[in-house]
């Protein structure tokens, strides 16, 4: 199933810079592993915000929840999830 996920990050101002650096490095490694696996298909920055718009391709809602809750930045995120379905007018056959 495809999902559009918008993630907005709000790191606490009092978070130690060393801790923030550690969390951000873990987040990058985790997200890049998911991208390599094909589960995190696309990621785009949202201009002017500490946020991204991503497309996930996972088995079901439970798998998406596991992935998102495993993000090192998860405690500092507001997340919006929208399930996506193939549009009947779409001309590309390589998306479902």
Structural domains of the chain ordered from first start: 2-84 (3.30.70.1060)
Pairing of strands 40-45, 51-57: antiparallel
Average pLDDT over the chain, rounded to an integer = 95
Pairing of strands 77-84, 2-9: antiparallel
11-43 confidence digits (pLDDT tens): 999 999 999 999 999 999 999 999 999 999 999
- Band of residue 95 on the pLDDT scale cut at 50, 70, 90: low
The three-class DSSP label of residue 33 is helix
Total-model pTM = 0.90
């Amino acid at each position: 199933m495809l999902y559009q996920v918008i993630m907005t990050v709000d790191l606490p101002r009092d978070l130690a810079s060393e801790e923030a650096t550690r969390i951000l490095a873990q987040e990058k490694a985790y997200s890049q592993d998911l991208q390599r696996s094909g589960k995190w298909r696309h990621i785009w920055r949202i201009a002017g915000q500490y946020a991204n718009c991503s497309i996930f391709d996972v088995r079901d809602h439970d798998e998406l929840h596991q992935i998102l809750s495993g993000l090192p930045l998860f405690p500092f995120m507001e997340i919006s999830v929208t399930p996506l379905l193939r549009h009947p007018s779409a001309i590309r056959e390589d998306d479902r």
